[in-house]
Amino acid sequence: MTTPVTTHATHRHYLMCRPTYFAVEYTINPWMDPTRPVDRDLAIAQWDNLRQTYQRLGHTVDTIEPLPGLPDMVFAANGATVIDGRALAVQFREPQRADEAPAYRGWLERAGFDVHDAKHINEGEGDLLLVGDYVLAGTGFRTSHSEHAHVQEVFGRPVVTLQLVDPCFYHLDTALAVIDERTIAYLPEAFSPGSQAVLRRLFPDAIHATWADAAAFGLNAVSDGRHVVLPVQAEALTAALRERGYQPVGVDLSELRKAGGGPKCCTLELRGARR
């Protein structure tokens, strides 16, 4: 049995986008099926519960105005990466999401962040996750490997490239969750053998998720270092987190999962000072 750790919550600042125009109108990941009915009112209610959950935990939540014709704009994590007051804007691979990029860039500029443009395909915190001093950077399906060098130049932090190999987990934040500065949870088989070896070396005490929990978007979690907000359907991962001394907070985002999203997809963390 793993010895529980002493956990500490830290205040977080998030940006979210209400799913006012949420729909599944196209297929850009394996979870999307335009023939499957979507209940927009339920999606809004589930999203609002997530927002209120963050607020109950003491965190600050800002919102960006949703735009018609952009049904995936609710997935704010893809809108940028923000570290130390610097924001790296995005460049989407899929044309259906292209107009989200200037909307998020404009919001961050108006909010006073130092915004840098992407040089290659870059889908924000979907593929760029800060853990301690490192940026874990996913590639293989969305964010270009060529962008990883630019990420290092913008943020001045070591970047660790991780190769994703399962199309069901096309963004890093669907296959790996940052729990605190030393701890991650991940699905080993979502990564190439070399990337698995890197993760074992960097995080020997990591939590290994099951495929079923990953498919429930359990790894698409948001942690403040103590409370871990994740889909209530990820039962084994919830138990593993509790055993380690963390406090899982279950939410139901089953309607948004029809577009391939969970709590982290809906949540962009705003780190550091503004101008």
CATH number assigned to the domain comprising residue 166: 3.75.10.10
- Report if residue 96 sits inside a domain: yes
Domain that holds residue 60: 13-269
Report d(CA 104, CA 76) in Å as an integer: 8
Domain-embedded: residue 5: no
Quote the number of domains for the chain.
1
Strand-pair partners of 122: 91
Q: Are strands 222-223 and 227-231 parallel, antiparallel or unpaired?
A: antiparallel
Structural domain contains residue 2: no
Residue 6 is predicted with a pLDDT of 85
| Helix extents (H) in 96-164 | 100-110, 147-155
Is residue 241 one of the residues assigned to a domain?
yes
Q: Of 91, 70, 88, which is closest to residue 80 (Cα–Cα)?
A: 88
pLDDT band for position 103 (50/70/90)? very high
pLDDT band at 275 (very low <50, low <70, confident <90, very high): low
Residue 8 resides in a domain:
no
4: in domain: no
Question: Encoding tokens for residue 37?
Answer: 């009915």
Q: Which residue has the tokens 């889909």?
A: 231
Is 7 contained in some domain? no
Q: Which of 148, 227, 265, 266 is catalytic?
A: 265
pLDDT tens string 52-94: 999 999 999 999 999 999 999 999 999 999 999 999 999 999 9
How high is the pLDDT of residue 274? 65
The side-by-side arrangement of strands in the sheet containing 60-64 is 60-64, 13-17, 268-269
- Is 265 one of the catalytic residues? yes
Q: Which of 148, 171, 227, 266 is catalytic?
A: 171
| Locus of tokens 């874990």 | 136
Which parts of 112-240 are beta strand (E)?
114-116, 128-131, 134-139, 159-163, 176-178, 184-186, 207-208, 222-223, 227-231
Please answer whether residues 177 and 221 qualify as being in contact, where contact means their C-beta atoms are separated by less than 8 angstroms.
Answer: yes
pLDDT band at 2 (very low <50, low <70, confident <90, very high): low
- Confirm whether 86 is domain-assigned: yes
Please state the pTM of the whole predicted model.
0.97
* φ, ψ (nearest 5 deg) of residue 230: -150, 165
**H-helix segments, the chain:** 40-56, 100-110, 147-155, 172-175, 193-202, 211-215, 235-244
